Amino acid sequence: MKLTLARNLIGLSAVAMLAACATKEQPAAPVTNNAPAQPPVTTKAPEPVKAAIDPLNDPNSALAKRSVYFDFDKYDIRDDQRATVDAHGKYLAGRGDRSVRIEGNADERGSREYNLALGQKRAEAVKKALEVLGAKEGQLEATSNGKEKPKATGHDEASWAENRRDDIVYKGL
């Protein structure tokens, strides 16, 4: 059981809850009423039938992918990972109330501290890409787990490839 919660986690949970209660006008929202003459509603609890599903919770959305993978000794975003980065960048640009911690990882080989820095380099790459897509600095924190929290625990290239990875962790969810 965790002994303490980060103060920023508690603060952002409160913000996230307030955001969920407010209805936002989304020009391209799939579920909305067809009465543009009506003034926008800004502070009303969402009606269950017409409420938009937060795409973050949609398993079919590109946002369901929270990991970005890297090649060995590489710290730039691979072509086949761009769709994931783009989806999160655009989402964050539209949801100023959402913030993420981008956690970089490195495979198991070598010094723990140097691997922490390599994981950090991967996290910074995704952070910069999200900023280019419109996310704000205040919504983004790049950190590293180095080789301390491997997802795959084998000692082969398949495991190492799995661990050369950033995880996008939404705060307050």
Partner 1 sequence: MTNMTRARQFFVGLVACLAMAAHADITIDIVGPGGNQLPIAIANFVGEAGLKDALTPIVRNDLDHSGRFKLVDPSGATLPADGPPPDLGSWKGRGADSLAIGDVRIGADNNYDVRLRLYDTVTLKLITGVQIHTATSDMRQAAHQVADVIYEALTGERGIFETKIAFVVKKGSKYELQVADADGFNAQEVFGSREPIMSPTWAPDGHRIAYVSFEQQKPIVVVQDVYTGSRNIVANFKGSNSGPTFAPNGHTMAVTLSIDGISQIYVLDGGSKRRLMQTPAIDTEANFSPDGGQIAFTSDRGGSPQIYLVPATGGNAQRLTFEGSYNVTPRFSPDGKMLAYIRRDGGSFNVATFDMTTRQTMVLTEGPGDESPTFAPNGKMILYATQVGGRGVLATVSSDGRVHQRLSTQGDVREPAWGPFPNQLPMSRLSSNP
Residues near partner 1, by CB under 8 A: 1-4, 6, 9, 101, 103, 109-114, 116-118, 120-121, 124, 141-146, 148-149, 169
Complex with partner 1: residue 9 or 83, whichever CB lies closer: 9
Q: How far is CA 91 from the centre of its chain?
A: 9
* Residue pointed to by tokens 């913000």: 15
Burial class of residue 102 in the structure, from the number of CB atoms within 10 Å of its CB (0-12 exposed, 13-18 middle, 19+ buried): buried
Rounded Cα distance, 68 and 154, in Å:
20
Can you read off the two tokens belonging to residue 147?
């080789």
Q: Which of 56, 104, 117 is nearest to 77 (CA)?
A: 104
Complex with partner 1: residue 9 or 21, whichever CB lies closer: 9
CB of 40 to partner 1, least distance (A): 35
Complex with partner 1: residue 87 or 140, whichever CB lies closer: 140
CB of 129 to partner 1, least distance (A): 13
Identify the three-state secondary structure at position 5: coil
Largest Cα separation within the chain, whole Å, is 63
CB of 67 to partner 1, least distance (A): 16
Helix ranges (DSSP H) in 33-156? 82-94, 112-132
Rounded Cα distance, 91 and 98, in Å:
9
Complex with partner 1: residue 1 or 35, whichever CB lies closer: 1
Complex with partner 1: residue 50 or 112, whichever CB lies closer: 112
CB of 147 to partner 1, least distance (A): 10
CB of 48 to partner 1, least distance (A): 33
